[in-house]
Amino acid sequence: MTTLLPALTSILAFLFALLLLDQWLERRQGFQAVWCFGMVCFGLGAGAEAVAAMNGWNEPLYRVWYLTGAVWTAGWLGLGTAFLLGRTRFGYTYAVLLLLSGLVALMIRNSPTYAGAGPLPLLYLIGAVILALAIGVETYFQNDTWPRFAAGAIIGVTILSIVLMVLTPPLPAPGYALSPTGQPVGDAMPGYLRLLTPVMNIPGALALLFGAVFSTYVFMPKRRVLPYSLDPNQPGDQFLFNLFIAPVAIVVNLFASLPGAFRELMAGRLHSRVPATILIALGAFFPTITDSLNRAGSTELFQLGKFLGVVFLFAGFLVSVEVFREIRIPFTSIRLSTPRRDRAARRDAEVVVAEEQAAVPATPAGGDPVPPSP
């Protein structure tokens, strides 16, 4: 079982990455390329664990696992969600998550776990504040370029992690660290490298999770118990009030809308992106929980959480309308059937988003104001 789960996780992640690459070659959407890279990192991290389970750990393998699995995967998957929702007001959420990661890095700087980090925590916070403000301003002015600032943060930390890893001297023997249950942990890494995990994982994992929940909310039939508006043309005090209550309003309205969504599901009228995004949310939820437990010292569910994560993410991808109803030979333009889109549900989603003025800004004629399908 120790070898089987990471091996299956790695195979599924690489298969998912291939399908995302194929979809990107067909449609050239940025989020597909970003998710593809994230899934490659997922596959490499899980693959390192599978190889180690068969042949034992060594320092080069441990370093590959740490960079790809512990540092990069969540950050790049969350960045893909940012690009997917780039035309929405999700930028506010990403800005808050980015700021939170900087604050966490500063708060944990004195922990022995992160000894040797030097001025990096303060630099991370300064960078997070600047980028969060930039993303917030771009979102306020309804510019769909805010994901580029998010990309700057993730790419910058990725490059920094490579430089720091190359400059890191040989690790203390045996060159890796394992939990009592045999799972890899980051304890052998110096503090300046370990500090990169919250910086990448907080905005990455939570953006993937919250972005999927947000997309579910956009496409499901709604009961608006708590109204709100993020229209930038309203007075400043009203805008700030609505901005603060928006997360609460979305959660309240989401739960109030579940009975109606269930009735629509039973009647066969529910938008297909609703179950797809629910599956993606579950795919983000399980590894987020088990990775948090792993950092807290409980490693028993570490492998299972990542396996469930890739399974649900992959399932959400396959359930999406275009993938499920369009059969095409991968890496070719040969179609065995043509897609049939949910036009009525799509129009409903556009009306909902326009009414709430919370999900997306206005777009030119012929534009697509709802998030594209994964």
280-284, 289-293, 352-356, range with greatest mean pLDDT: 280-284
The pLDDT assigned to 94 comes to 95
Mean pLDDT for 27-50 is 93
Mean pLDDT for 283-302 is 80
In this prediction the pTM is: 0.84
The pLDDT assigned to 369 comes to 37
DSSP 8-state class, residue 358: S
Judged by average pLDDT, the poorest of 199-203, 265-269, 333-337 is 333-337
Residue 355 has pLDDT above 50, yes or no: no
Mean pLDDT for 213-220 is 88
Q: Which has the higher per-residue pLDDT, 60 or 117?
A: 60
The pLDDT assigned to 322 comes to 54
The pLDDT assigned to 251 comes to 87
Q: How many residues are present in the chain?
A: 374
The owner of tokens 């959400």 is: 316
Widest distance between CA atoms in the chain: 63
Q: Which has the higher per-residue pLDDT, 318 or 343?
A: 318
The pLDDT assigned to 329 comes to 61
Residue 64 has pLDDT above 80, yes or no: yes
Residue 371 has pLDDT above 90, yes or no: no
Mean pLDDT for 171-178 is 92
The pLDDT assigned to 326 comes to 56
The pLDDT assigned to 332 comes to 63
Please tell me whether residue 184 adopts helix, strand or coil conformation. Answer: strand
SS (H, E, C) the chain: CCCHHHHHHHHHHHHHHHHHHHHHHHHCCHHHHHHHHHHHHHHHHHHHHHHHHHHCCCHHHHHHHHHHHHHHHHHHHHHHHHHHCCCCCCHHHHHHHHHHHHHHHHHCCCCHHHCCCCCHHHHHHHHHHHHHHHHHHHHHCCCCCHHHHHHHHHHHHHHHHHHHHHHCCCCCCCCCCECCCCCECHHHCCHHHHCHHHHHHHHHHHHHHHHHHHHHHHHCCCCCCCCCCCCCCCCHHHHHHHHHHHHHHHHHHHHHHHHHHHHHHHCCCCCCHHHHHHHHHHHHHHHHHHHHHHHCCCCCCHHHHHHHHHHHHHHHHHHCHHHHHCCECCCCCCECCCCCCCHHHHHHHHHHHHHHCCCCCCCCCCCCCCCCCC
The pLDDT assigned to 137 comes to 93
Residue 66 has pLDDT above 70, yes or no: yes
Q: What percent of the chain has pLDDT over 90?
A: 45
The pLDDT assigned to 347 comes to 44
Task: Band the pLDDT of 338: cuts 50, 70, 90.
Answer: low
Q: Which has the higher per-residue pLDDT, 317 or 327?
A: 317
Task: Band the pLDDT of 328: cuts 50, 70, 90.
Answer: low
Residue 52 has pLDDT above 50, yes or no: yes
pLDDT tens-digit map of 116-162: 788 889 999 999 999 999 999 999 988 889 999 999 999 999 999 99
